[in-house]
Chains A and B, each alone.
Chain A
Amino acid sequence: MTAPSARPPARRRRAGGLGPSPLWGYAMIAPAFIGLAALYLWPFAKTFGKSFMDTPAFGPGTWTGLDNYTELLGDGDFWQAFGNSAIYTAILLLGVPIATVLAALIQQIGRGRAVYRVLYFLPVVTLPVAVSMVWRFIYNGDFGLLNWALSLVGIPGQYWVADDAYAIYAIGAVGIWMSLGVNLIILGAGLQSIPPELYEASSMDGAGRVRQFFSITLPLLSPSVFLVTVLTVISALQMFDLVFVMLRSVDNTALDGSKTIVYLFYEKAFVQFDQGYGAAIAVVLLLVIMLATVFQFRVQRRWVFYD
């Protein structure tokens, strides 16, 4: 097959080598697709199927239709877990404005910017279990660092992760801290794409730093902020590890008041051997995440600015 000489050589080689058949396209994505199908689609189909079954600990289940779902809707534990996950998600959303301001501040730094980024990124590459163990110590009601620090300014300490009035908030604070690193990267990349001329021009017009932040940075950064918000909601609704490790033992007095949806799923499916019920929880969680995401995409038209 010969191509017109006007075409660049690279283009000719590609066309000549692979031919025009669309099968090549499928062949090329096959490895990724097979992996995706085996690791995501197939397990999802199994989970979806199981959610309509009454399952013994091992072996095939029996079809029970919507029983798991109707039981779920009347299950106080489920609604409490749902509420806890909602609180946790709301707390993590507070982390988005924090990350936005921090990203803008770090962008202002000339020398040593990398140091700050590494500091904020460290929690992301640290094992959640290790992070949780350290925070358990910080939050300890009798010997913890936090209560010691509070005592210096005369505030009475609390059993932060043993009292269900505080535990989900204490865990949420750790969640914000852990998610900052990734959020700062996304927002930092967004900031780099804002043309510096805009800042130069506006400062000639007499705009201060704060004015610049609200009139230039925020609107131009809004697509990144939107992305961060969507990702935050998804990961917050899926939170499991922090509760699992920080409230550690099943005897913890705060556990009943701080279980998240995924923790409840774990408990039902893997501790109580009720996989069908666990699967139903997982499907409901998926629906909730989908609805939350669709909702955000609807609302974004009002506040996200695409130039």
Chain B
Amino acid sequence: MRYDKRWSAAAVAATALVLSACSGGGEDGDVTLTYATWSDDQKPAMEAIAEAFEADHPDIDVEVQVLPWPEYWSTLQVGAAGRTAPDAFWMLADQFPAYAEGGQLLDIAGAVEEAGVDLSAYPESVMDLYDSGDALYGLPKDFDTNGIWFNKALFDAAGVAYPDDTWTWEDTRTAAQELTDADAGVWGIAAPIDRQGGYYNSIYQAGGQVIGDDGKAAIDSPEAVSGIEFWTNMQADGSSPTLQQLSDTEAVQMFMDGKIAMYFSGSFWAQRLYGDEAFRANVGVAPLPTGQQRASMISGILNAGYAGTEHPEELAEFLIFASGEEAAKIQGESGAVLPAYEGTQQTWLDSMPEFDLQVFVDAVEYSVPLPISGNAAEWTGLEGEYLTPAWNGEQSAADAAAAYNAAIDEVLAE
């Protein structure tokens, strides 16, 4: 029986631990605004921005909350429905339509006009992502474009010239084959089914579209199919780890472990790659290769506000500040992300001088807004089901694209 008492004590202690993990925050100023984010990496920068805002507005207290990514969207959704959502929060383009159309976002068009904010200071393609006609549901905080992250040491070892701005698709495929060394467990490239960093880029480089101008899926066009084949060919060549291997170990991790020579992805990895001091010197950056034309997906986080907030005026002020020039500089200096405000990108470039990050800023010129249409969360969620057979070589890219195209149209028709 002695043991049983200990058991119950242990159980009680465990319960107490769980309960104590849920704690609330206090109120210091007259008005408290909560600001929800999902990135621990960016927490220091966000807190610095909150402090800078509080210095100008002593009566407003901004509380930065970091929610883990897996819970972020469900927490926000439940919070909005239950009238307990944070006042300010980060918004992504694929989630945006549901919130905007559902009337959950604070329209700050009036406040922005009053404050004289120059909207042309933000990249046009990012503004397009969040276009809502006359309403304005927030301002871009940052943006990300794509490039080739490559491992100089693996290129040197294989005697392959580094990628540069003259690279074509063929150069990529040939280099990937030359860099692959199966015995050493090294692959030339990572070819996952990756929308933002991967096949959407090549679809637009080939002159195709994901969603056509008529609002219907266009992923079965010959151009789009060749954009998909860019990736499936490299899978077929054995130049990339298989999808299963990439499920087990993320591509970025494999890149940092020196297992893959090229990783096509976003500017948002810069801080993590730079943070690994031993690895830093091996990292190079180059623009994505040219297909029929240059193209890179662009996306960006929006600083948005909750329509049900108790302090709409203060919130609008904060949102304008958090996406403004001063906040952009704070973000850029931290190295966390590429700030959206024009003219502040240099701070980000300067924060990591060893990386040729100008590539990502230059990519804005030929950037394409991430395709979003209808219930994007639903149809993008089907991509693995329909495209995996093409990546595994069980089905041609054309057949897989045709099947996926029909599935997207079905969702869009709902």
Contacts and interface: CB of A to CB of B under 8 A. Distances in A.
Given A162-B245, A189-B4, A270-B74, A249 B250 contact: yes
Given A58-B80, A113-B3, A125-B10, A270 B385 contact: no
Contacts of B7: 117, 121, 185
A2 interface: no
Contacts of B101: 56-57
A250 B381 contact: yes
B313 to A, nearest CB: 23
Interface in A112-155: 113-114, 117, 121, 124-125, 136, 139-144
Nearest to B414: A274
A181 to B, nearest CB: 10
A221 interface: no
Interface in B320-376: 375
A169 interface: no
Chain B interface residue number, banded = 35 or more
Nearest to B80: A58
B3 A273 contact: no
Contacts of A28: none
B384 A256 contact: yes
A141 B384 contact: no
B14 A162 contact: no
Interface string B93-110: 000001101111000000
Contacts of B74: 266, 270
A267 B192 contact: no
Contact of B248 (A141, A255, A267, A274): A141
Nearest to B193: A251
A251 B247 contact: yes
Contacts of B381: 250, 267, 271-272
A182 to B, nearest CB: 9
Contacts, number: 102
Contacts of A271: 73, 377-378, 381
Given A256-B385, A273-B98, A162 B378 contact: no
A178 to B, nearest CB: 14
A3 B385 CA distance: 76
A250 B385 CA distance: 10
B63 to A, nearest CB: 24
Interface in B109-144: none
A59 interface: yes
B289 to A, nearest CB: 23
Interface string B227-255: 00000000000000001111111100000
Given A117-B3, A121-B10, A255-B384, A142 B250 contact: no
B378 A272 contact: yes
B248 A59 contact: no
Interface string A83-122: 0000000000000000000000000000001100100010
Interface string A48-71: 000000001111000000000000
Nearest to B243: A253
B73 A142 contact: no
19 contacts: A58-B104, A59-B102, A117-B7, A140-B248, A141-B248, A142-B245, A143-B249, A159-B244, A161-B248, A162-B244, A162-B247, A244-B70, A247-B247, A249-B247, A251-B192, A251-B247, A270-B73, A270-B77, A271-B73
Interface of B: 1, 3-4, 6-7, 10, 14, 17, 70, 73-74, 77, 80-81, 98-99, 101-104, 185, 192-194, 243-250, 375, 377-378, 381, 384-385, 388
